[in-house]
Structure 1
Amino acid sequence: MRSKLLTPFWLPVWFFAAAIVLGAVLLRLDWCDGTQSLSFIDALFTSTSAICVTGLVVVDTGSYFTRAGQGVILLLIQLGGLGIMTYTSLMLYLLGRRVSLGDRMAVGLSLLHDPRFSLRGFLFRVLLMTMLIEGVGAIALWFLDPVGFSFFSAIFHSISAFCNAGFSLFPNSLVRWQGDWAVNAVFMILITAGGLGFYVLNECSGIVGRRIKTLTHSAPSKPHRMSWHTRVVLNTSLFLVVAGALAIFGAELAGGESFGDWDDELLMALFQSVSCRTAGFNTVEIAHMTNVSLVFMLFLMFVGGSPGSCAGGIKTTTIRALWAFIVAQFRGSEQTRIGRFSLSSQSMNKAFTLVVFAGFIVAGTTIVLNISEGGDIPHIQARGHFLETLFEVFSAYGTVGLSTGLTGSLTSVGKVVVIMLMFVGRLGPMWLLSALQSWQAEERYRVAEQDLPLG
């Protein structure tokens, strides 16, 4: 039994759980929460939200916690963004210990989705790339607004944005920079970079580096063709950002509150389209947006970022695979094709399994939260409550962190439910399913197959 609990698929579960409990204990200390005496359930909620890079908060981060407490939250965000497994493997290398093939494959499937890679080189590139991006982002924020962003605040928000955490030291997030294109651009670049995935960032940086080398040297170099995975991720991400921005812009322009001139409305829509995929920052009050915008944001939160990134959700590659399958069915094609390749039946089975599991988790949690947060209230008195609860569930599962205002009023039962939802959303249902399947013995027989009428 002990060997089953220490398999490569279960190690991240235990490390995340241990980090959450340790973070909750630290946040309750006087030097973290001052004299305000944070309850254990609120400390556990905050720690889970930070390590799962979600951003949902029950207390204001900037005013409730001391600088030391904010530092603890920042450390949890950084650990959660890169993944406990990454740091564990790196520590093993630094200590001169060999990483087993099982651990190597587990990290590979988590970060790269390819077990044939150099773990040592990849981990160091990930860390260096992360520090570089977060450092440049912090300097840019501090330079653009040194009054609004102190040096610590710039570092905090840069790490929070790149790790797609959405934690802010300001009570209304980034509303004060609603019309600032420069500050918005820095956040959108950091959020997008953190949501693309380390494999995509690594390949893109390599391509840029080779092109720069070609320009600085007279001898031409061999052109590097972008991999199929990277191309799919970039194209799908770009489509979701543009389509989401146009949908939100149209919905708010048609019936929402006025957030300024049309260019300010466009900037707001673009920022929310980028942020609501998994980051959780907002430049407008979410509760003031139209229901149509919130519905579009539900879909974007459910999709999330890309595999091997700081983001949650079912991932961009999954939604692209499902769309390709629908197109193939309309065309009468037996193969699900994306670009120059078709997807294997195993990949499609994983995509359908992921969506079905995510759907069951979201539906079940929505029912439980509706019961715990107002199940005894008649519908005529709770109009709009269902959408608020559904928005909270999608936000927690997608590790987004946006809220219409329900988080602060959650009951203890509701907080526990959201904690569990954030934990599952960060690890991903496929990872938990694989961990459970690692306990099962392989079946050495097959039963007779039969068709069942469907549809």
Structure 2
Amino acid sequence: MKSKASSPFWVPIYAFMITIISGGLLLKLDICHPDKTLSLIDAIFTATSAVCVTGLAVVDTGSFFSRTGQSVILALIQLGGLGIMTYASLVIYLLGKKVSASDRIAVSQTLIHDPSFNIGRFIVGVVAAVLSIELIGAFLLNRMDPHGFAPYSAIFHSVSAFCNAGFSLYSDSLSSWKDNVGINAVFMALIVLGGLGFYVLIELWQKLCDFILKKKRPIAAHPISWQTHVVLETTLILIIAGAVAIWLAESLRVHVIPNFESNELSALFQSVTCRTAGFNTLDISNMTNVSLIFMIFLMVIGGSPGSCAGGLKTTTFRALFAFVVAKIRGRSQVRVGWYALTEDSINKSLTLMALAGVILGIAVILLSITEGGNIPHTQARGHFIEIFFETVSAFATVGLSTGITPKLTFSGKIIIISLMFVGRLGPVWLLTAINSWQKEPRYKLPEDDLSLG
């Protein structure tokens, strides 16, 4: 049992759990919220939301917590954004100690799903790049609006944006800047960079350095790797398609977005942020059901592998989409970009979709019971989509809400905490960790076809 419990696939789970509990206990201290009372469940909820870079909040971060409490949340966001194992292995590496094989597997699976790389150089590069991007983002925010984004506020929001956490020190998130093109652009850039994946970021940085230094590398068939190409292409398509869909849906509600210019900008910002980040420039509770449905779709997809984002991931979406297209066209191979997918990749994508569907379905049913299961549907109109939206937001670690988060019952908070935790780790990772405890049977049953469809 000891070897099973110490499986590298369980290391991140333990790390996240310990960090969440420690963060919750810190947030429970009076120094984090003088003259205010925070229950233990709300402290754990906030810590989970921060570590899992979700952004759902039962209390207002800016007004409820002191600077100390906000700093604890900021630290938890930064730890959760890159993953606890990243920092642990970085410290070990910088101290000159050998990184264990289990840590190598855990970190590599968390970041780029490739255990055959130099973990030391890669982690140092990732942390340096992340801190640089966050500092640049904070500098730009402060320069564009020194009053709204004072140094501490600028750093807090820059880290929150890059880590795709969605925590804001303002009760209306970023609604006050919905018409500010510069502020919107900085936040969107931080969110997109944080959601691309660290492997993609490192590759793009190397390409940029080679271009600036005019360094020549061996001629390749393509200027960037297949993974990076798929991630960038899919991200761009989803941003544009989401912006158009939300713009069209919200055009039916002129009073939500008063003028045409802010309509386009707000729709674009919401398309970027609702896939994982959780910031908003619009009142989510006042948006149309059509917009909420499109946003749920984008939230389910989420960001890219090895990033701060949650969701099924852009690559999974491309694989599933390509699988459906291949079946419709009667093709034996599932093509995504330059190559065809292996059977293992297709099976993993289908498994991930099925697991996500089961988890979301169970959570929606449980929340429907805990958050008004005794109310007739005639008196709870609109309540279902609010619960569904909240469930997907928690599972995809997005953090957007129609406003029901502070009203959740104790049981409802437990459900949302569990969703955020599973969503940050990823259902496939959790299944793999559980499977690491199992043994493959030494026999096989006879096989036969079953009538389907």
TMscore range, shorter length: over 0.9
Asked if 1 retains the 8 angstrom alpha-carbon contact of 2:11 and 2:106, the reply is: no
2:301 matched to which residue of 1? 303
Q: Identical aligned pairs, as a percentage?
A: 56
- Give CA deviations for 1:57-81 in whole Å, capped at 9, x if unaligned: 0000001000010000000000000
Counterpart selection for 2:266 from 258, 265, 268: 268
Distance apart, 1:380 and its partner CA? 0.9
- Give CA deviations for 1:302-353 in whole Å, capped at 9, x if unaligned: 0000000000001000000001111111111111011221111111110000
Asked if 1 retains the 8 angstrom alpha-carbon contact of 2:55 and 2:167, the reply is: yes
Distance apart, 1:423 and its partner CA? 0.4
The 1-side partners of 2:88 and 2:4 are apart by 19
Q: Which amino acid aligns with 1:102?
A: S
Q: SS of 1:130's equivalent?
A: helix
The 2-side partners of 1:337 and 1:222 are apart by 26
1:405 aligns with 2:393: no
Asked if 2 retains the 8 angstrom alpha-carbon contact of 1:52 and 1:426, the reply is: yes
Q: Spell out structure 1 runs of 4+ moving beyond 4 A.
A: 220-224
1:386 matched to which residue of 2? 384
Counterpart selection for 2:318 from 314, 317, 320: 320
Q: Which amino acid aligns with 1:398?
A: A
Q: SS of 2:251's equivalent?
A: helix
2:183 matched to which residue of 1? 183
Distance apart, 1:97 and its partner CA? 2.4
- Give CA deviations for 1:148-171 in whole Å, capped at 9, x if unaligned: 111000000000000000000000
- Give CA deviations for 1:28-69 in whole Å, capped at 9, x if unaligned: 111111120211011010000000000000000001000010
Asked if 1 retains the 8 angstrom alpha-carbon contact of 2:83 and 2:110, the reply is: no
The aligned runs of 1:20-31 (5 Å cut-off) are 20-31=20-31
1:81 matched to which residue of 2? 81
- Give CA deviations for 1:223-248 in whole Å, capped at 9, x if unaligned: 56200000000000000000000000
The 2-side partners of 1:330 and 1:422 are apart by 35
2:109 matched to which residue of 1? 109
1:278 matched to which residue of 2? 276
Distance apart, 1:130 and its partner CA? 0.5
Residue range with higher mean Cα deviation, 345-354 or 104-113: 104-113
The 2-side partners of 1:443 and 1:227 are apart by 39
Asked if 2 retains the 8 angstrom alpha-carbon contact of 1:56 and 1:407, the reply is: yes
Distance apart, 1:104 and its partner CA? 1.4
Structure 2: which 5+ residue stretches go unaligned? none
The 2-side partners of 1:159 and 1:346 are apart by 36
2:51 matched to which residue of 1? 51
The 2-side partners of 1:20 and 1:114 are apart by 27
Distance apart, 1:222 and its partner CA? 4.8
Asked if 2 retains the 8 angstrom alpha-carbon contact of 1:196 and 1:306, the reply is: yes
TM-score w.r.t. the length of structure 2 is 0.98
The 1-side partners of 2:150 and 2:15 are apart by 33
- Give CA deviations for 1:332-389 in whole Å, capped at 9, x if unaligned: 1111011221111111110000000000000100000010000001111100000000
Q: Which amino acid aligns with 2:343?
A: S
2:356 matched to which residue of 1? 358
Q: SS of 1:254's equivalent?
A: coil
Q: SS of 2:252's equivalent?
A: helix
The 1-side partners of 2:232 and 2:271 are apart by 15
Asked if 1 retains the 8 angstrom alpha-carbon contact of 2:165 and 2:277, the reply is: yes
1:65 matched to which residue of 2? 65
- Give CA deviations for 1:249-308 in whole Å, capped at 9, x if unaligned: 001113453413212100000000000000000001101111000000000000000000
The 2-side partners of 1:110 and 1:341 are apart by 24
2:212 matched to which residue of 1? 212
The 1-side partners of 2:89 and 2:440 are apart by 28
The 2-side partners of 1:120 and 1:182 are apart by 36
Q: Which amino acid aligns with 2:399?
A: G
Q: Relative to structure 1, is the Cα distance of residues 256 and 365 closer, same or farther in structure 2, using a 3 angstrom cutoff?
A: farther
Q: SS of 2:335's equivalent?
A: strand
Asked if 2 retains the 8 angstrom alpha-carbon contact of 1:15 and 1:84, the reply is: yes
Asked if 2 retains the 8 angstrom alpha-carbon contact of 1:256 and 1:290, the reply is: no
Distance apart, 1:85 and its partner CA? 1.0
Q: Which amino acid aligns with 1:205?
A: W
1:435 matched to which residue of 2? 433
- Give CA deviations for 1:99-133 in whole Å, capped at 9, x if unaligned: 23333123212211211111000000000000100
Asked if 1 retains the 8 angstrom alpha-carbon contact of 2:256 and 2:282, the reply is: no
The 1-side partners of 2:229 and 2:199 are apart by 12
The 2-side partners of 1:363 and 1:345 are apart by 27
Residue range with higher mean Cα deviation, 71-80 or 99-108: 99-108
1:251 aligns with 2:252: no
The 2-side partners of 1:318 and 1:111 are apart by 16
Asked if 1 retains the 8 angstrom alpha-carbon contact of 2:300 and 2:311, the reply is: yes
1:330 aligns with 2:328: yes
The 1-side partners of 2:264 and 2:333 are apart by 39
Distance apart, 1:3 and its partner CA? 2.0
